[in-house]
Amino acid sequence: MKVPTMAEYMAEGKQPEVLFWVGCAGSFDDRAKKITKAFVKILNNANVEFAVLGAEESCTGDPAKRAGNEFLFQMQAVTNIEVMNAYEVKKVVTACPHCFNTIKNEYPSLGGNYDVVHHTQFLKSLLDDGRLTIEGGHFKGKRITFHDPCYLGRANDVYEAPRELIRKLDVELVEMKNCRKKGLCCGAGGAQMFKDAEPGNKEVNIERTEQALEVQPDIIAAGCPFCNTMMTDGIKNKEKEDSIVVQDIAELIANAQDL
């Protein structure tokens, strides 16, 4: 696995094609790290010149902002923007819809203007340009359902890129009763990931998992590290972890190609 940093590129006097923004989950969460690695393998395989910020990356501030701490958010944003602007970053790809949304929509008015894409959009563009080929392999005929992340779907109207990638896997894409614009949250957004839920009669991720189970999938595809965790927990709660897997689209593609 080749994972160059922006600093290394800079030292060579070069610019990578794209900055891979790993995000806090992708850097530290054990489950999400697998997604990060799967994505890097695909990038390596497609000969994409990318770089990460490594220790120079910091939280985008998304959870602080959604929790109402505007000050902390802007401190984080301005710091990150300073780093990215110093490296003259033009294009950013990230596997986290929260980082994607924040850098794409909320950084520009603070001085950070980049072309920001979600990793499913980036992979789709690699596919369109013929730099990446996806073949189903061992997924052939499996039933896959895709859980729309709120911050990718409703928040930014990205619904098709992930689905087009999934279809390339030669699988049967089945839609839950709540999908696309009507997708149900996994329960982690808006900083909920970091606290217990308010009293109610059910956890949101259980409700969503039940919706997924209704369509009897072999695989639940996710496009967000937080959704991934929530759905994985839901599947465990339903004691279905032996028959159903939750995987990020990057992992599905990396697996299909035995990377």
Residues 63-82 that bind other proteins (CB under 8 A): 63-72, 74-79, 82
Min. distance of Cβ 84 from other proteins in angstroms?
14
d(CA 246, CA 226): 12
The residues near 168 (Cβ < 8 Å, ≥ 6 apart) are: 127, 134, 135, 136
Closest CA to 104 of 146, 68, 66, 62: 62
Taking the least distance from each CB to other proteins, the nearer of 169 and 188 is 188
Q: Residue count at the site for other proteins (CB under 8 A)? A: 75
Does 201 participate in binding other proteins (rule CB under 8 A)?
yes
Name which of 33 and 91 has its Cβ closer to other proteins.
Answer: 33
Given the complex with other proteins, which of 10 and 67 has the nearer CB atom? 67
Structure token pair of residue 191: 């900083």
- By CB under 8 A, what part of segment 207-246 binds other proteins? 207-208
Q: Least CB distance from residue 238 to other proteins, whole Å?
A: 15
Q: Which is nearer to other proteins, 72 or 215 (CB)?
A: 72
d(CA 179, CA 166): 15
Per-residue contact flags (x/-) with other proteins for residues 158 to 197, judged by CB under 8 A: -----------------------xxxxx-xxxxxxxxxxx
**89 binding other proteins? (CB under 8 A):** no
Pick from 129, 130, 199, 258 the residue near other proteins by CB under 8 A: 199
Scanning the chain, the segments in alpha helix (DSSP H) are 6-11, 23-28, 30-45, 62-67, 70-86, 97-101, 119-128, 160-167, 204-214, 225-237, 249-256
36 is an interface residue for other proteins by CB under 8 A: yes
Where in 95-124 is the site for other proteins (CB under 8 A)?
101, 104-106, 109-110
- Cα distances (angstroms) measured from residue 173 to each of 50, 153, 217, 218, 253: 31, 17, 9, 11, 15
Which of the ranges 50-58, 136-144, 163-171, 232-240 carries the binding residues for other proteins, by CB under 8 A? 50-58
Question: What's the min distance (Å) between Cβ of 207 and other proteins?
Answer: 5
Question: Which one-letter amino acid corresponds to residue 209?
Answer: T
Reference 174, options 147, 192, 153; nearest CA is 147
The Cα–Cα gap between 74 and 62 comes to: 10
The answer to whether 45 contacts other proteins (rule: CB under 8 A) is no
